[in-house]
Amino acid sequence: MLSDQIKTKDSLPHSLYRAQQIQDFEGQAAELAGTELYTLMERAGQACWQVFKQHFPDAGRVLVLSGKGNNGGDGYIFAAAAKDAGLDVQLCQMGEPVDLKGDAARARNAWSIAQGTIDGIEHADFEGADVIVDALLGTGLLGPVRAEYQRLIYKINQAGKAVLSVDIPSGLNADSGAVSDVAVKADITVSFVGLKQGLFTGCAPENCGEIYFSGLGITKEFESICESTVSRVLYDDFSDLLVKRSRISHKGFFGRTLVLGGNTGMPGAVRLAGEAALRTGSGLVKVLTRPENQLTVTAGRPELMVEAFHLDKMDDSTIRDWATNLVIGPGLGKDEWAENLFNYVLASDLATVVDADALNLLVSKPAWKDNWILTPHPGEAARLLGCSITKVENDRFSAVRSLQRSFGGIVILKGAGTLICDGKQIYIANVGNPGMASGGMGDVLSGIIGGLLAQGIDPLHVAALAVNIHGLAADLAVKQDERGLLASDLFPYIRKLVNP
């Protein structure tokens, strides 16, 4: 059984922290709790051992790879616990064991007193191990991974063995979730004191495996002195906003969403966004599109109202007098027709979801509004910021903050570990799967956001809830088969999720 202190996937804390915050406040929190830092190291090693026992009860031989800092010290404590339990433990130290300092040196000494031997990294027996424990770099990684660590990490990943990483997979940036060179691909990651924000976005889903957490007995003290502005957000956090409808409700109670887009050859995008708004609960949904798309959209979903937007008969009455909120971008294009439609939206004071080509038009016509929700993927974010996609993905937190400062409102930076920023805080939503890498998924998300906005929910809560509904619907739709998932496959599950 796991200790009561160890949190699993369904009970992980919401608050997330940067590595420097842990370093700055861990000692103070330990002092407030009347605990020394070495005791925390002992608890960390024991927490890893408890998780190890649960996941690998039949393991007979474990290879522990220890680094030069406190992460390596955690590895020594783990190794002693495993040896006491009768496992065959090989502990290999990166660098010279005599060079360890402070608490890591104390852990090394305790291992030696227990008759444990220390091998050099060059003697690591990857083939003979049942499980590898990665206690190499921890959260101290600030720049590129040094060559000797790169070679070792490649060996770990190529060994074909189960891997447990201590605190964070070596090579993964604890603050951004980026991998500059190479990172350990762990099956299990056990994190301590405060969950690191880099465990939940960027490359993290590919490297962390199943995440566990132990506050090491100082959670209350740490949270009392260290403020978090980044947090995990779950569907259950805001699903109570989807209140049961009154028995005397009618469609006028739930807003009128106008979806603008669908340029020549792209009626499907507005069709998907429009239906998503309907399935989410908007009372009425109208699509403003190219004249030649009217029949196609209506035939696919007759509940959608469809109106043509003519360049030579420009009239903004539909936007001004009919809609309560707008969604612009799905299939919009970037020609004169699209620019005119975009200009009407810029002149409107209605709450607006800005997606797809509307974001590309925003690059050439920058604007700032406090009542819109922007939904860029990394490529669109890079264009908005005038930088490379790589730079966006190397620090998604900085990117989403920069987007919000530049354009206002709420920004949803899509991707693995979607980020939601209102300028004061950042939410991370860990939902969805690789099956969502198909056309139309973003159109469905924009429609979900529009449908929730129409019902009068606070925009920040709308963004957080919409991202979770979208990702969870995909998770429910995919079951075991990710490849071939279609955006329209989400609709039955969206309807379930908006009726909790």
Instruction: Show the tokens assigned to 54.
Output: 């649960």
Q: To which H or E segment does residue 443 belong?
A: helix 441-454
Residue 274 confidence (pLDDT) above 60? yes
Domain boundary among 206, 227, 248: 227
Is residue 489 left, alpha or beta, with left meaning phi > 0 and alpha meaning psi from -120 to 50? alpha
Q: Is residue 1 part of a domain?
A: no
Neighbour tally for 224: CB within 10 Å? 13
347 and 207 part of one domain: no
Residue 400 confidence (pLDDT) above 70? yes
**What local confidence, expressed as pLDDT, does residue 3 receive?**
46
CA distance 358 to 383: 12
221 and 270 part of one domain: no
Domain count, the chain: 2
Residue 4 confidence (pLDDT) above 70? no
Residue 7 confidence (pLDDT) above 90? no
Residue 457 CB contacts under 8 Å (≥ 6 apart), including other chains = 241, 465
Q: Is residue 451 part of a domain?
A: yes
Q: What share of the chain is helix, strand, coil (3-state, %, to 5)?
A: 45, 15, 35
CA distance 305 to 317: 15
For residue range 113-166, list pLDDT tens digits in order: 878 899 999 999 999 999 999 999 988 777 789 999 999 999 999 999 999 999
Residue 297 CB contacts under 8 Å (≥ 6 apart), including other chains = 262, 267, 270, 271, 274, 287, 289, 304, 306
Q: DSSP label at 172?
A: B
CA distance 89 to 93: 13
270 and 170 part of one domain: no
Residue 392 CB contacts under 8 Å (≥ 6 apart), including other chains = 378, 381, 382, 385, 399, 413
Is residue 186 left, alpha or beta, with left meaning phi > 0 and alpha meaning psi from -120 to 50? beta
Stretch 472-489: mean pLDDT = 93
Q: DSSP label at 319?
A: I
For residue range 452-464, list pLDDT tens digits in order: 999 999 999 999 9
239 and 223 part of one domain: no
Q: Domain of 246: which CATH number?
A: 3.40.1190.20
CA distance 198 to 12: 15
Stretch 254-262: mean pLDDT = 97
126 and 166 part of one domain: yes
Residue 221 confidence (pLDDT) above 80? yes
Whose CA is closest to 326, among 454, 455, 444? 454
pLDDT above 70 covers what percent of the chain?
99
**What local confidence, expressed as pLDDT, does residue 1 receive?**
40
Domain boundary among 227, 243, 269: 227
**What local confidence, expressed as pLDDT, does residue 389 receive?**
97
**What local confidence, expressed as pLDDT, does residue 463 receive?**
98
Classify each residue of 392-403 as buried b or exposed e, where b means 16 or more C-beta atoms within 10 Å of its C-beta. bbbbbbebbbbb
β-bridge partners, 61: 88
- Domain extent, residue 239, equals 235-497
- Compute CA 339 distance to the chain's CA centroid, rounded to the nearest angstrom: 33
Instruction: Show the tokens assigned to 458.
Output: 């606070």
69 and 128 part of one domain: yes
352 and 302 part of one domain: yes
173 and 269 part of one domain: no
